[in-house]
Amino acid sequence: MRMRKKKNLDVRFERCASVMVSDPRAVRGKWREKFGNDNPIRLEIGCGKGRFILETARRNPDINFVAIEKEEGALIMATEKAIAEELPNLRFLSFDAAALNEIFAPGEVSLIYLNFSDPWPPNRQRKRRLTWRAFLAVYDEILEEEGAIFFKTDNQRLFEWSLGELCQNGWLLQNISLDLHNSDYDNIMTEYEEKFSAQGYRIYRVEARKRIEKNLLK
């Protein structure tokens, strides 16, 4: 469901300028300079209203976080919360995930979170899924050597399809959970996750490590 357009967005975004990155291409290869430290950089693609990334940033002050959200109504809510909390290790931007290599240099990101991405259910729309091979190739480029994707969803079909896509493109799968909320994993919920879980949906999760060397795939 599309969110209603929020009022006075331009003015509200101006007030949040300190946590927004307005020209991310200019920061490519310089994200640690942007944060003013040499800490690892983690990325959430599709942060929604920010519940997950805010809590994750609170718990990990020695890690830098970049949150991406294209829906302006959700993005302004996340940035306003970040301003109120004054988290120095968190920045936000609006950008296309298919072009992340335009704003992050090779190996600049240590971890990517994909939380409850749009499943795009018709198969003809599969190229728009954030676990489609073209996106995986971009993630592979910007992730460091030991980098990983942490993927969560309530959609079983998307999860199964994503596992296949990851495997076919050389990613190592670890810590697969078919019922996350009945596991012992220390989980931070998103807004959607809380809603879907309350409705009785299972939550699926996997960690995918950066692609295996080509000679191991032969």
Give catalytic status of residue 118 as yes or no.
yes
pLDDT at 150 over 60: yes
Arithmetic mean of pLDDT, 5-24: 88
62/116 Cα distance (integer angstroms): 26
pLDDT at 161 over 80: yes
Element (H, E) at 157: helix 156-168
* Per-residue exposure over 2-40, b if at least 16 CB sit within 10 Å of its own CB, e if not: eeeeeeeeeebbeebeebbbeebeebeeebeeebeeebb
Which domains, ranges and CATH numbers included, belong to the chain?
26-215 (3.40.50.150)
At 2 the pLDDT is 46
6/16 Cα distance (integer angstroms): 15
Q: Which residue has the higher pLDDT, 214 or 215?
A: 214
Q: Tokens 């302004």, residue?
A: 76
Strand pairing report for 90-93 and 64-68: parallel
Cα dist. 84→49, 91, 153 in Å?
14, 13, 29
Q: pLDDT tens-digit profile of 74-132?
A: 999 999 999 999 999 999 999 999 999 999 999 999 999 999 999 999 889 999 999 99
Nearest partner of 97 among 53, 141, 58, 54, judged by Cα: 141
At 5 the pLDDT is 60
| pLDDT tier for residue 170 given thresholds of 50, 70 and 90 | very high
Question: Mean pLDDT for the chain?
Answer: 93
The SS3 of residue 97 is helix
At 136 the pLDDT is 97
Arithmetic mean of pLDDT, 13-23: 93
Of 62, 118, 140, 179, which is the active-site residue? 118
Task: Return binding residues.
Answer: 44, 69, 96, 118, 154, 190-193
At 215 the pLDDT is 38
Q: Which two tokens stand for residue 120?
A: 């795009």
Nearest partner of 64 among 85, 94, 33, judged by Cα: 33
At 218 the pLDDT is 44
Question: Cβ neighbours of residue 20 under 8 Å, at least 6 residues apart?
Answer: 13, 79, 91, 92, 93
Q: pLDDT tens-digit profile of 129-148?
A: 999 999 999 999 999 998 99
Task: Return binding residues for substrate.
Answer: 154, 190-193
Task: Return binding residues for S-adenosyl-L-methionine.
Answer: 44, 69, 96, 118
Question: Cβ neighbours of residue 156 under 8 Å, at least 6 residues apart?
Answer: 202, 204
Q: pLDDT tens-digit profile of 186-203?
A: 999 999 999 999 999 999
- What region, left, alpha or beta, does residue 162 occupy, with left being phi > 0 and alpha being psi -120 to 50 degrees? alpha
Q: What percent of the chain has pLDDT over 90?
A: 89
